[in-house]
Protein backbone atom coordinates (compact mmCIF):
# COMPACT_ATOMS: atom_id res chain seq x y z
CA UNK A 1 0.00 0.00 0.00
CA UNK A 2 1.42 3.35 -1.05
CA UNK A 3 0.23 6.88 -0.40
CA UNK A 4 0.24 10.30 -2.00
CA UNK A 5 1.16 13.00 0.53
CA UNK A 6 1.09 16.79 0.23
CA UNK A 7 1.37 19.91 2.41
CA UNK A 8 0.35 23.44 1.52
CA UNK A 9 0.00 26.53 3.70
CA UNK A 10 -2.84 28.92 3.02
CA UNK A 11 -3.10 32.46 4.36
CA UNK A 12 -6.69 31.98 5.46
CA UNK A 13 -8.68 30.82 8.46
CA UNK A 14 -9.29 27.18 9.32
CA UNK A 15 -13.02 27.87 8.94
CA UNK A 16 -12.68 29.20 5.40
CA UNK A 17 -10.46 26.34 4.27
CA UNK A 18 -12.81 23.84 5.87
CA UNK A 19 -15.72 25.40 4.00
CA UNK A 20 -13.87 24.99 0.69
CA UNK A 21 -13.40 21.28 1.47
CA UNK A 22 -16.77 20.46 2.99
CA UNK A 23 -19.35 22.12 0.72
CA UNK A 24 -20.14 21.40 -2.93
CA UNK A 25 -19.94 25.11 -3.66
CA UNK A 26 -16.47 25.30 -2.12
CA UNK A 27 -15.20 22.16 -3.87
CA UNK A 28 -16.54 23.39 -7.23
CA UNK A 29 -14.45 26.54 -6.91
CA UNK A 30 -11.06 24.77 -6.90
CA UNK A 31 -11.39 21.10 -7.99
CA UNK A 32 -14.04 20.73 -10.66
CA UNK A 33 -16.91 23.05 -11.37
CA UNK A 34 -19.07 19.98 -12.04
CA UNK A 35 -19.52 18.95 -8.39
CA UNK A 36 -22.79 17.70 -6.97
CA UNK A 37 -24.12 15.54 -4.17
CA UNK A 38 -24.42 15.68 -0.42
CA UNK A 39 -21.44 16.69 1.66
CA UNK A 40 -22.62 15.18 4.93
CA UNK A 41 -21.41 12.08 6.76
CA UNK A 42 -22.67 9.08 4.80
CA UNK A 43 -23.47 11.19 1.73
CA UNK A 44 -21.85 10.82 -1.68
CA UNK A 45 -20.36 13.62 -3.77
CA UNK A 46 -19.81 13.24 -7.51
CA UNK A 47 -17.00 15.10 -9.26
CA UNK A 48 -16.99 15.14 -13.08
CA UNK A 49 -14.06 16.30 -15.19
CA UNK A 50 -14.13 17.42 -18.80
CA UNK A 51 -11.78 18.59 -21.54
CA UNK A 52 -12.80 20.27 -24.76
CA UNK A 53 -16.45 19.89 -23.74
CA UNK A 54 -16.25 16.07 -23.39
CA UNK A 55 -16.34 14.24 -20.06
CA UNK A 56 -12.96 12.62 -19.37
CA UNK A 57 -13.59 11.10 -15.96
CA UNK A 58 -15.54 11.18 -12.75
CA UNK A 59 -15.07 10.28 -9.11
CA UNK A 60 -17.58 9.47 -6.41
CA UNK A 61 -16.60 10.08 -2.82
CA UNK A 62 -18.45 8.83 0.22
CA UNK A 63 -18.04 11.27 3.09
CA UNK A 64 -16.75 9.36 6.13
CA UNK A 65 -15.75 12.20 8.48
CA UNK A 66 -16.46 15.91 8.76
CA UNK A 67 -14.84 17.69 11.73
CA UNK A 68 -15.34 21.46 11.33
CA UNK A 69 -12.10 23.44 10.99
CA UNK A 70 -10.12 20.25 11.50
CA UNK A 71 -10.57 17.28 9.18
CA UNK A 72 -12.41 15.84 6.18
CA UNK A 73 -12.21 12.17 5.17
CA UNK A 74 -13.63 10.60 2.03
CA UNK A 75 -13.62 7.09 0.61
CA UNK A 76 -13.65 6.62 -3.14
CA UNK A 77 -16.72 4.60 -4.18
CA UNK A 78 -16.73 5.35 -7.91
CA UNK A 79 -14.13 6.22 -10.51
CA UNK A 80 -10.96 4.68 -11.98
CA UNK A 81 -10.30 1.13 -10.77
CA UNK A 82 -7.07 2.16 -9.02
CA UNK A 83 -8.99 4.71 -6.93
CA UNK A 84 -11.82 2.51 -5.70
CA UNK A 85 -11.55 1.88 -1.97
CA UNK A 86 -8.74 4.40 -1.45
CA UNK A 87 -9.20 7.13 1.17
CA UNK A 88 -8.56 10.84 0.89
CA UNK A 89 -8.01 12.90 4.02
CA UNK A 90 -7.54 16.60 4.67
CA UNK A 91 -6.18 17.65 8.07
CA UNK A 92 -6.06 21.31 8.99
CA UNK A 93 -4.07 23.18 11.62
CA UNK A 94 -3.05 26.73 12.33
CA UNK A 95 0.63 27.71 12.10
CA UNK A 96 1.14 31.45 12.47
CA UNK A 97 -0.78 33.22 9.71
CA UNK A 98 -1.18 29.97 7.74
CA UNK A 99 -3.79 27.26 7.70
CA UNK A 100 -1.66 24.19 7.03
CA UNK A 101 -3.36 21.50 4.96
CA UNK A 102 -1.97 17.98 5.29
CA UNK A 103 -3.33 15.87 2.46
CA UNK A 104 -3.20 12.10 2.08
CA UNK A 105 -4.57 9.88 -0.68
CA UNK A 106 -4.05 6.51 0.96
CA UNK A 107 -4.33 2.87 0.04
CA UNK A 108 -3.11 2.62 -3.55
CA UNK A 109 -2.35 -1.05 -4.21
CA UNK A 110 0.63 -0.40 -6.51
CA UNK A 111 2.77 2.64 -7.43
CA UNK A 112 1.52 2.56 -11.03
CA UNK A 113 2.27 5.31 -13.56
CA UNK A 114 -1.24 6.70 -13.07
CA UNK A 115 -0.41 7.20 -9.38
CA UNK A 116 2.61 9.34 -10.39
CA UNK A 117 0.26 11.47 -12.49
CA UNK A 118 -2.34 11.79 -9.73
CA UNK A 119 0.32 12.80 -7.22
CA UNK A 120 1.45 15.73 -9.37
CA UNK A 121 -2.12 16.68 -10.27
CA UNK A 122 -3.19 16.73 -6.61
CA UNK A 123 -0.38 19.22 -5.91
CA UNK A 124 -1.71 21.42 -8.72
CA UNK A 125 -5.24 21.26 -7.30
CA UNK A 126 -3.98 22.06 -3.79
CA UNK A 127 -2.39 25.18 -5.30
CA UNK A 128 -5.79 25.95 -6.85
CA UNK A 129 -7.35 25.64 -3.37
CA UNK A 130 -4.65 27.98 -2.01
CA UNK A 131 -5.27 30.46 -4.79
CA UNK A 132 -9.04 30.37 -4.25
CA UNK A 133 -8.66 31.29 -0.59
CA UNK A 134 -5.85 33.82 -0.98
CA UNK A 135 -7.03 35.58 -4.13
CA UNK A 136 -10.71 34.63 -4.48
CA UNK A 137 -10.05 32.66 -7.66
CA UNK A 138 -9.19 28.97 -8.03
CA UNK A 139 -8.49 26.99 -11.20
CA UNK A 140 -11.01 24.13 -11.13
CA UNK A 141 -11.53 21.80 -14.10
CA UNK A 142 -12.08 22.52 -16.97
CA UNK A 143 -9.78 25.50 -16.37
CA UNK A 144 -7.22 23.47 -14.42
CA UNK A 145 -3.48 23.66 -15.06
CA UNK A 146 -2.49 20.81 -17.40
CA UNK A 147 0.53 18.75 -16.44
CA UNK A 148 0.87 16.03 -19.10
CA UNK A 149 -0.93 14.12 -21.89
CA UNK A 150 -3.29 12.63 -19.31
CA UNK A 151 -4.40 16.20 -18.57
* Separation of alpha carbons 97 and 141, rounded Å: 29
Instruction: Kindly state the smallest distance separating residue 75's Cβ from its own copies, in Å.
Output: 20
Q: Is the peptide bond before 142 cis (omega within 30 degrees of 0)?
A: yes
Q: Toward its own copies, which CB reaches closer, 8 or 24?
A: 8
Minimum distance, C-beta of residue 8 to its own copies, in the bound complex (Å): 5
Closest CB to its own copies among residues 81, 148: 148
Distance, CA of 149 to chain centre: 20
Which stretches of the chain bind its own copies, using CB under 8 A? 2-9, 95-98, 100, 102-103, 111, 113, 115-117, 119-120, 123-124, 126-127, 130, 145, 147-150
Measured N-to-C along each axis, helices 14-22 and 113-135 cross at an angle, to the nearest 10 degrees, of 130
Q: How far is the CB of 140 from its own copies (least distance, A)?
A: 18
**Terminal Cα distance for the chain, rounded:** 25
Amino acid sequence: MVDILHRVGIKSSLDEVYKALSTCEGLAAWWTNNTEGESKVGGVIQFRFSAGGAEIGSFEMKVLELHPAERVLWQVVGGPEEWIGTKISWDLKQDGEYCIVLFKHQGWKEPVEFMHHCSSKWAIFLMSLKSLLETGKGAPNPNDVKIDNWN
